[in-house]
Amino acid sequence: MSSPPFLFPLQKKSMGHLIAPSILSGNFANLITDIEMLNQSEADWFHIDVMDGVFVPNISFGFPVMEAINKHTLKPMDVHLMIVNPDKYISQFKQAGANILTVHLEACTHLHRTIQAIKAEEMSAGVALNPHTAVNDLEDIITDIDLVLIMSVNPGFGGQKFIENTYRKIERTRNLIEKSGSKAKIEVDGGVNIDNAPKLIEAGADVLVAGNFVFGSDNPTQSILDLKSV
Ligand code: DX5
Ligand code: ZN
């Protein structure tokens, strides 16, 4: 049954989405300042990018840094693994403080098994898709997962240019979630800023990751609030 249009204006709900600043763009020589800023800000999650130099052409950081962050953060750690063989390290990521653990579909031969292993450690389970990977590839796993991470740049680096096809991809993911009855949230990661954020929310994104837009700004706390207020 369709509802009268005045009850559901086309303008998207405000403040319903989550913001996950990516610490990858923080100051690694003084992370405590960035952590405390995020703790005091409107940020919902800490987005933690782990890169192995194999799955992506860059190496970021590993367990010691995550453990150090975990000692100070007051918010959930949203860990995005850009590594091959993530199964090997699932319990270690749990011990290092991960609350949400996201693996790349392209890095998992037995994705269903990997998702079950993440859930067995009592973490929320996410699946990330590279820009070239079809949303349809999630069809048989969508009801098992808590998060779909749509990459809006090729993974590996902060500060890259947003890929415009992402809007359509988010819409397709939203359709798949609704059709299947999945409860998964949609997270978008890469090149997010105040100009594309409204359109991303409108397309169906629940969580916006932002690195350069937050940490490259003069006032990161305000930039987070700006994204949250879209
Ligand atoms: C890229 C990472 C992103 C990155 C986002 O591989 O997954 O989380 O830090 O940074 P920006 O927002 O600068 O593109
Ligand atoms: Zn990320």
Per-residue pLDDT tens over the stretch 147-204: 999 999 999 999 999 999 999 999 999 999 999 999 999 999 999 999 999 999 999 9
Rounded distance between C-alpha atoms, residue 217 and residue 223, angstroms: 7
* 148, 176 Cβ separation under 8 angstroms: no
Whether pLDDT at 10 is above 50: no
Q: Which residues surround ligand 2, an ion (CB under 5 A)?
A: 49, 80, 189
* 130, 151 Cβ separation under 8 angstroms: yes
The set of catalytic residues is 49, 189
| Closest of 16, 23, 17, 19 to residue 51, by C-alpha | 23
First to last CA, the chain: 29
For residue 4, the model assigns a pLDDT of 39
Enter the pTM of the model: 0.94
Rounded distance between C-alpha atoms, residue 177 and residue 204, angstroms: 10
Q: CA separation (Å) from 139 to 82, 168, 181, 225?
A: 22, 17, 12, 34
The one-letter amino acid at 48: I
For residue 8, the model assigns a pLDDT of 37
CA–centroid distance, residue 22 to ligand 1 (Å): 6
- Ligand 1 pocket residues where CB is under 6 Å: 22, 24-25, 47, 49, 80, 153, 155-160, 189-192, 209-213
CA–centroid distance, residue 106 to ligand 2 (Å): 15
Whether pLDDT at 15 is above 90: no
Rounded distance between C-alpha atoms, residue 23 and residue 224, angstroms: 13
CA–centroid distance, residue 120 to ligand 2 (Å): 23
Greater confidence, 52 or 3?
52
Please state, rounded to an integer, the average pLDDT across all residues of the chain: 94
Rounded distance between C-alpha atoms, residue 119 and residue 43, angstroms: 25
Rounded distance between C-alpha atoms, residue 140 and residue 66, angstroms: 32
Whether pLDDT at 84 is above 70: yes
Rounded distance between C-alpha atoms, residue 189 and residue 130, angstroms: 10
84, HSE (Cβ side, Cα atoms, 13 Å): 6
Q: Between the CA atoms of 227, 217, 76 and 95, what dihedral angle is there, to the nearest 10 degrees?
A: 150
